[in-house]
Amino acid sequence: MDWDGTKASIYAKTEVDVLRALGKSKRSLEDFKALISPAAEPFLEQMAVESQRLTQQRFGKTIQMYIPLYLSNECQNICTYCGFSLDVKIPRKTLSDAEILEEVKVIKQMGYDHVLIVTGEASKTVGVEYFRNAIRLIKPYFAHVSMEVQPLDQPEYETLIEEGLDSVLVYQETYHQEDYKKHHPKGKKSNYDYRVDTHDRLGRAGIYKMGLGVLIGLEDWRTDSFYCATHLDYLEKTYWKSKYTLSFPRLRPCAGGVELKSVMSDRQLVQLICAYRLFNQEIELSMSTRESETFRNNIIKLGITSISADSKTDPGGYANPQVNLEQFEIDDKRPTASFIEVIKQQGYEPVFKDWDHSFM
């Protein structure tokens, strides 16, 4: 696919194209282009109403709760936008077995049953054997274990799935190949093809659920999002036994941060979330604590099905928080109990456990 041609096609969409897309019950990738185009912005309210309806039809009035568990901030990559980047001068820390269990204890006291393991990309210190050990320690305490670490080979994913890994999240960051290289000049992550093929390796390994997303701000968000939707469409048709989740990480301040190439407003983020729901009624849409309290309060009814709260982005941050170890700054810092009340006040049910391995 030609990036510039695709971008021009999106920005050429008209009100007629948007109305045609809104009038359909099943929408194509061309319809998705129209729904994320500037021409769709005046129709945001109509899109939001339909997104709410479709989400409730498929997921009910529920919000799945999860929490990230950062195990290490060591990283061998240089990434222009990340606080863990190799060239950023911060203290480095990798949790020991005892420290992992300390984090687990605190997280369980907070009520969580779905945990997302996160590390920097440092295969020598936090490689497959470290992940195997961590999953063995963590799995007895949680119904669902997800992972967001460096891309791995298919046999390595198969090994971790045997240990109890349920989901893997891998963000392409940007699908613009030339700019991808600019933002990832050093480390294994600089290999665009290996990263973009990660979901194929996951699909062949038989993962239960895989997550996609772009880092909003690195490139034109509309074009990047269309490439991501195309990727999702391919994966669902090819690896139809797996489930899929999509995230919307907007760049946040961090040590050694990068200037945003594409600034997205709150209204535009709502537009993108609604466009994805109108395009795909089955996919889970996830929201992190990167966003503000006000935004997260209002997005609950508009298409999001999974959300984190009370997050720490530094290794050991729940039991023994330290300064200057974070990957990025979070915006919504409310305690879990407070956020749960917000969800309930809006007529929704926070769900901490939505399935069990005994049913497999």
Residue spans per domain, the chain: 60-353
CA distances from 114 to 52, 107, 351 (A): 24, 10, 10
User: CB-based burial of residue 337 (10 Å sphere; 0-12 exposed, 13-18 middle, 19+ buried)?
Assistant: exposed
DSSP state of 308: E
Tokens of 200: 């194929």
Supply the Cα-derived Rg of the chain in whole angstroms: 20
Q: What angle do CA 116, 140, 108 make, to 5 degrees?
A: 60
Q: And the tokens for 228?
A: 């991501």
According to DSSP, the residues that pair with 307 across neighbouring strands are: 65, 287
Contact criterion met (CB below 8 Å) for 80 and 182: yes
Please give the pLDDT value at position 73: 87
Query: So what's the pLDDT on residue 254?
Result: 46
What is the CATH number that goes with domain 60-353? Answer: 3.20.20.70
Q: Residue 326's closest CA among 166, 146, 167, 93?
A: 93
Looking at this protein, which amino acid is placed at residue 37?
S
pLDDT for 125 equals: 87
Q: Count the alpha carbons within 13 Å of 186 in the hemisphere toward its beta carbon.
A: 9
Q: What is the reported pTM?
A: 0.92
d(CA 292, CA 46): 24
Backbone angles phi, psi at 131, to 5 degrees: -65, -40
Alpha helices in the chain (DSSP H): 3-11, 15-22, 29-36, 44-59, 97-109, 128-138, 154-163, 177-183, 192-196, 198-205, 221-238, 266-279, 293-299, 336-345
H or E segment to which residue 212 belongs = strand 209-212
Q: What string of pLDDT tens digits covers the 360 residues of the chain? A: 899 999 999 999 999 999 999 999 999 999 999 999 999 999 999 999 999 999 999 999 999 999 999 999 887 777 667 667 666 777 888 999 999 999 999 999 999 999 999 998 888 889 999 999 999 999 999 999 999 999 999 999 999 999 999 999 999 999 999 988 888 877 788 899 999 999 999 999 999 999 999 999 889 999 999 999 999 999 999 999 999 999 999 876 544 456 667 789 999 999 999 999 999 999 999 999 989 999 999 999 999 999 999 999 889 999 988 755 555 567 899 999 999 999 999 999 999 987 776 766
Q: How far apart are CA 338 and CA 329, in angstroms?
A: 20
Query: How far lies 313's CA from each of 67, 181, 217, 254, 283, in Å?
Result: 10, 25, 20, 11, 26
Q: Which residues pair with 119 in a beta bridge?
A: 72
pLDDT on residue 328: 54
225/276 Cα distance (integer angstroms): 9
A 10 A CB-CB count for 183 gives 21
Whole-angstrom distance between the N-terminal and C-terminal Cα of the chain?
Answer: 39
